[in-house]
């Protein structure tokens, strides 16, 4: 979750007037999603239902996690980069732990610390190996049993890989010239940030109830569909006008950072949900049968998808797993191989390190994935 224009100086603070300055490409996508949602008949009904599911099953949990993380960070004013620089032998385990944290914020901290000379290259490899990016939120919300297995394995693989890298790789991939500003500052918390939070709170209640197999149709007398779609459309508006590409500036308020980053993640989750169900409902595709015919190479394909920067493709892979289209081994390959949105700032701050770290993280991805494929083929499928 990070700004791709890392070398660009920070923009001035952006207030409510910025809300009208939509980004054309994003606005086109938002317009298409809104058109699908308001379409008559089965198409509109299916789209709204999937958007509601995406909001209460994933977005609300993402919002709660980010608000907790950024709130604590703001409260204690703790600089993890400096702490890691003093940790010496514990740098790699700490980096892996930050990477294993859902989302991309922890991995970004490690990448920035490496670019400024605070941590080793092994720490970068450890955090990128351990991170699943934003796809972790989707997995935790929909398949917590799989997340309880996958995330600790990634964490362990990250530590071992990072230690091996520090032991045997002597090349210095650190860039010359130091770090730079990663995201523009928004400034004062905006009305739309509070609106998004207001929709996420009942969404979290409904999502938590669904995990416990409890169906809730109304919260405070309001139908779930109403506040879920209000949250979805508010998030789409925030994303369409956002001055950042994913990750927010650390100086912004927790509610603003939560709204901006959750909106970014939610767009990809909605697209993944729609793509899967549209393929089944309107294209007649049986993705499970299709992928079963190429099962031996699925972990390799999933690992290759991990090379793609950003969380969109990785969220789609997780969605395929949640819907039973691909095995756990393929999910494992993608989760260990992919770097999520953390790869964007890594490329901007330390391009050689980003490329080499991605290559190195693919090795444990294939080893662990094919171990599951051959020795536990039906595990968590």
- Annotate 356-365 with b (16+ C-beta within 10 A) or e (fewer): bbbebbbbbb
Residue range 59-116, pLDDT digits in tens: 888 888 788 878 887 887 766 666 776 777 789 999 999 888 877 767 777 887 787 7
pLDDT of residue 296: 92
Cα angle 56, 336, 307; round to 5: 95
Burial of 317 (0-12, 13-18, 19+ CB in 10 A): buried
Range with top average pLDDT, 25-34, 94-103, 338-347 = 25-34
pLDDT of residue 179: 47
Residue range 267-282, pLDDT digits in tens: 988 998 898 889 888 8
CB 154 within 8 A of CB 335: yes
Task: Count the helix, strand and coil residues of the chain and give each as a percent rounded to the nearest 5.
Answer: 70, 0, 30
375, pLDDT greater than 60:
yes
CB-CB neighbours of 189 under 10 Å: 16
Measured distance CA(70)–CA(253) in Å, rounded: 8
State the pLDDT confidence band at 377, using cuts at 50, 70 and 90: confident
Helix count and strand count (H, E) for the chain: 18, 2
State the pLDDT confidence band at 4, using cuts at 50, 70 and 90: very low
- Long-range CB pairs of 362-367, under 8 A, 24+ apart, other chains included: 362/303, 362/306, 362/307, 362/337, 363/161, 364/129, 364/157, 364/160, 364/161, 364/336, 365/129, 365/303, 365/306, 365/332, 365/333, 365/334, 365/335, 365/336, 365/337, 366/299, 366/300, 366/303, 366/333, 366/337
Strand partners, 103: 133
pTM of the shown model? 0.74
Q: What are 355's two structure tokens?
A: 């490329």
* Range in 10-14, 93-97, 139-143, 337-341 the model is least confident about: 10-14
Task: Report the chain's mean pLDDT, rounded to a whole number.
Answer: 84
Report in angstroms the alpha-carbon separations of 221 from 49, 199, 209, 225: 19, 14, 16, 12
């Amino acid at each position: 979750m990070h700004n791709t224009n890392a070398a660009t100086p920070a923009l001035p603070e952006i207030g409510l007037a910025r809300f009208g300055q939509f980004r054309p490409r994003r606005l086109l996508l938002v317009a298409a999603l809104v058109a699908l949602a308001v379409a008559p008949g089965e198409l509109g009904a299916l789209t709204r239902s999937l958007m509601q599911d995406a909001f209460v099953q994933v977005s609300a949990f993402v919002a709660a996690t980010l608000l907790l993380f950024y709130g604590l960070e703001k409260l204690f004013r703790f600089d993890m980069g400096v702490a890691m620089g003093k940790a010496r032998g514990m740098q790699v385990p700490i980096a892996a732990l930050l990477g294993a944290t859902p989302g991309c914020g922890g991995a970004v901290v490690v990448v920035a610390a490496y670019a400024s000379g605070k941590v080793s290259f092994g720490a970068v490899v450890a955090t990128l190996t351990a991170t699943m990016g934003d796809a972790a939120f989707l997995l935790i919300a929909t398949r917590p049993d799989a997340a309880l297995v996958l995330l600790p394995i990634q964490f362990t693989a990250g530590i071992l890989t990072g230690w091996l890298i520090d032991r045997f790789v002597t090349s210095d991939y650190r860039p010359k010239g130091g770090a730079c500003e990663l995201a523009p500052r928004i400034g004062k918390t905006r009305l739309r940030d509070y609106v998004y939070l207001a929709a996420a709170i009942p969404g979290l209640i409904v999502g938590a109830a669904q995990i416990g197999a409890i169906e809730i149709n109304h919260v405070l007398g309001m139908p779930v569909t109403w506040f879920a779609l209000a949250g979805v459309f508010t998030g789409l508006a925030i994303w369409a006008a956002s001055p950042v590409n994913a990750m927010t500036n650390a100086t912004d308020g927790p509610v603003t950072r939560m709204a901006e980053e959750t909106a970014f993640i939610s767009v990809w989750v909605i697209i993944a949900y729609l793509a899967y169900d549209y393929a089944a409902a309107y294209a007649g595709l049986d993705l499970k049968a299709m992928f079963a015919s190429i099962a031996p190479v699925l972990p390799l394909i999933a690992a290759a998808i991990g090379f793609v920067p950003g969380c969109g493709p990785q969220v789609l892979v997780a969605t395929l797993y949640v819907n039973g289209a691909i095995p756990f081994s393929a999910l494992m390959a993608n989760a260990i191989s992919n770097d999520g949105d953390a790869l964007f700032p890594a490329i901007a701050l330390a391009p050689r390190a980003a490329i080499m770290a991605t290559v190195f993280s693919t090795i444990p991805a294939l080893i662990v994935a094919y171990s599951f494929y051959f020795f536990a083929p039906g595990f968590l499928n």
